[in-house]
Chains A and B, each alone.
Chain A
Amino acid sequence: MAKVFERPKSLIDIPMHYCPGCTHGIVHRLVAEAMDELNIREKTIGVAPVGCAVFAYDYFNCDMQEAAHGRAPAVAAGIKRVHPDNVVFTYQGDGDLASIGAAEIVHAANRGEKITTVFINNAIYGMTGGQMAPTTLLDQVTATSPYGRKPETEGYPIRVSEMLATLEGAAYIERVSVHDIKHIVRAKKAIRKAFEYQLEGRGFTLVEVLSTCPTNWGMTPAESLKWLQDNMIPYYPLGVKKEAK
């Protein structure tokens, strides 16, 4: 009998620590499948963030480095400059990438670092217990915006992909979602394409993945997927934001 569904070789066979319904696990799988398909596992070096995905080094079946909070793009730049023929990726949350690590991601993109960033936008800080992120939507209630995020005092949610797409060094930027099968398939294609762009040495690549955090959103997994679709997608439009020819 032919196996039609199995664990990607780029993913280690151990239980993940993610909460039920969290989409980190799905995205890990997509990254691993893309690595398998491109046959790059043996030359890939991943960089884990500080955030819920901090243990990514236990899950991806390739050499890994664990970076300080927000500094994954700098760490990745250091690795890539030493091993320009390897594939280097960072996997970062929205607090990590868009708040404390805002400078690192902007300058990595601007220098056209030939790395791939998988950016998990779940509109909240997951690991520390549901605080406001730079991507938290207006009026969204979090532990540190208990009355809802107000633009007068907390500013507006940052559209990271659109912002980075303005930079010359960015070669490929796309925002995707994982709230249903159709979109998951699209997300996988985007991640694969980002790796391909890196292999071709075209410049900085990033895939922003709209994701859920049922635990800190205070919803069931099913409600979360619907909330993502109804609230996040209208503010964070899906699609390719930058594609260097």
Chain B
Amino acid sequence: MSKVLMKGNEAIAEAAIQAGCRYFFGYPITPQNEIPAYMAKRLPQAGGTFLQAESEVAAINMVYGAAGAGARVMTSSSSPGISLKQEGISYIAGAELPCLIVNIVRGGPGLGGIQPAQSDYFQSVKGGGHGDYHLVVLAPSTIQEMVDLVQEGFDIADQYRNPVMILGDGMLGQMMEPVEFEERKSRRLPPKDWATTGWKGDRPRAVINSLFINPQVLENHVNKIYRKYQEIKANETMAECCNCEDAEIIVSAYGTTARIVKSAMEMAARKGIKVGLIRPITLWPFPTETFQEWAQRDHVKAFLTVEMSMGQMVEDVTLSIGGKKPSHFYGRTGGMVPNPADILAEIEKVRGGNA
């Protein structure tokens, strides 16, 4: 198939439809409005249902109902709306329902702003809602990758019966790039014989539920979910490593920021500074081992994490490298985007300090 030029948000929506998603529940918020608009137009043509909910709270609970009923279903929002969805997301994780949640992140806290940010990292990977659970969090850095990860995300959700989040930002949502929608081979997925479809006695009665009033039963349930997380860690962890083989400094960044870091790396190369990049693609599970491996190399003198936040992923980087090498941070926040020259200056500062 040939390439088409598409806005990030629209590409997410089209990718979802091509992945077999037929139900979308959402509530308007900038900068993700093109996703529901696209779905409102295209889903009825594809035999699906788009519904604008009365709030993000309602939207995520509609997702719960539809996922529990066995459908491929998604919702999208941006930071304040994702905060509202957290109770529902916790229920979805507790009831082990598959779905895709897109967060096109904007600056915060509070109403914040509408420009791109990465300040929802903690919320996305450390829980967000109450209780012991994780989302699988995918962080694309190009629109093509966003398309691929949307399709992969639905499969991961179905395979493990766990909610999956695409963590984008206003920049990825709004910009246009050529993308290709390939015929994808879907994974071999287990049947949804647990879904509420009406009970004729040909299977156990389906009950979608996250209440386990007996503490021992609840602990067993959580342990079961965490065994699933071990499998996800082993099978699904993804990261891109770029020019790490002889790097003195390894920069770590995800999403939009990783693209800007790549420009800074080219500038550094022209100055003869050897810079590598580790770009986590799954933020949860975090590619801890990749960081551990590179932290052991003698040629690597220091790590620098760059984010559009006050420093959130850097905590996982620091934890992963376990004190083997110094861990530095540079970030802009509030919707301010770091530029390559500033990142280069930061690289030089780190290098000077370690020379």
Question: A: which residues have CB within 8 A of B?
Answer: 41-45, 47, 54, 57, 61-68, 71, 74-83, 86, 103-104, 106-107
Contact A82/B66 with A42-B198, A63-B196, A68-B91 known, Cβ cut-off 8 Å: yes
A103 contacts across to B, CB distance below 8 A: 54-55, 57-58
What distance in Å separates the Cβ of B129 from its nearest Cβ neighbour in chain A?
A: 10
Bound: A107/B207 CA distance, A: 25
Task: List 17 A-B residue pairs with CB atoms under 8 Å apart, sorted by A's residue number.
Answer: A45-B69, A61-B199, A63-B205, A64-B207, A65-B196, A67-B91, A71-B58, A71-B88, A74-B59, A74-B61, A74-B65, A75-B65, A79-B65, A81-B49, A81-B51, A104-B54, A107-B54
- Say what secondary structure dominates the interface of chain A: helix
Q: How many contacting A-B pairs (Cβ < 8 A)? A: 125
Bound: A81/B68 CA distance, A: 12
Is residue B355 contacting chain A, with contact meaning CB distance below 8 A?
no
B57 contacts across to A, CB distance below 8 A: 71, 74, 103-104
Q: Which of B145-153, B208-216, B283-291, B324-332 contacts A (4 or more CB under 8 A)?
A: B208-216
The count of chain B contact residues (Cβ–Cβ below 8 Å) is 39
CB-based contact A82/B207 at 8 Å? no
Question: B: which residues have CB within 8 A of A?
Answer: 23, 25, 49, 51, 53-55, 57-59, 61-71, 73, 87-88, 91, 95, 196-201, 205-211
CB-based contact A75/B61 at 8 Å? yes
Bound: A53/B57 CA distance, A: 22
Contact A63/B198 with A54-B211, A78-B25 known, Cβ cut-off 8 Å: yes
Q: Which of B25, B70, B209, B211 has the most CB of A within 10 A?
A: B209
Bound: A88/B66 CA distance, A: 12
A44 contacts across to B, CB distance below 8 A: 198
Bound: A61/B88 CA distance, A: 25
CB-based contact A47/B54 at 8 Å? no
The answer, among A62, A68, A80, for a CB contact under 8 Å with B88, is A68
B51 contacts across to A, CB distance below 8 A: 77, 81
Known: A65-B68, A74-B62, A103-B58. 9 other contacts (CB 8 A): A42-B199, A64-B196, A71-B88, A74-B61, A79-B69, A81-B66, A83-B198, A103-B55, A106-B54
CB-based contact A63/B197 at 8 Å? yes
A106 contacts across to B, CB distance below 8 A: 54
